[in-house]
Amino acid sequence: MYYHCRDLKHVEYGKVFPPPVNTLDEYFVKCYKWLGYYCKFYPQVWLSRGNLSLTGFKREFKKEQEVILFGFENIVGFPVSFEPWEYIMNTLMNDKSDDIAKINKQIAKDFEDLRRDSIAEKWEPDMDLKGWIDCGRDVNAYFKKHLFVEKDQVVVPSLNLKTAKQVICRNERQKKILRHMGFIEDRIVIKNFKTSRW
């Protein structure tokens, strides 16, 4: 199942899009722009493949934030593996260039710096670094084999919420609101996951 989490105030019975660019954190904008070069759309709607913790649904939110989780059986999206994405985001957020070739060169440099450190300090490389080495230290090969693979996340340009097979909310009031929007009663489920701080 593919999951997408969204504040109730941004839920519509129909197609939804990413938040407006001017509402995004400026550091994440750089990441999403870079990703847009590869997936051909920007910004993106993110879905987790089977992992609820990646959606933010279990996170502890402020009282005024009411999040709804949507589950989909089949999503054709652009794959972005979480751990490699998380690793290169640091470079993407801090790079001052808008040139893809220069940014990718910096990603390669960061991997090489880490590789040299692992040799000098004699520590075992983590999975991201092993992937870099296995790909012949070629940034495009690394993206193809490790980053842009369907493992735990996909991005899409828009998402039709009314096609969700599950609509998970936290209480009867939310369920009633969702039902009045048009969501099918049998697909709306109340679940109270324990929340945790990240």
Three-class SS of 99-165 = CHHHHHHHHHHHHHHHHHHHHHHCCCCCHHHHHHHHCCCCHHHHHHHHHCCCCCEEEECCEEHHHCC
Closest CA to 135 of 157, 108, 102, 155: 108
Task: For the chain, list residues with pLDDT below 70.
Answer: 58-65, 193-198
What's the count of helices (H) and strands (E) in the chain, helices before strands?
6, 9
129-142 tens-digit pLDDT:
888 889 999 999 99
Query: Does the global pTM surpass 0.75?
Result: yes
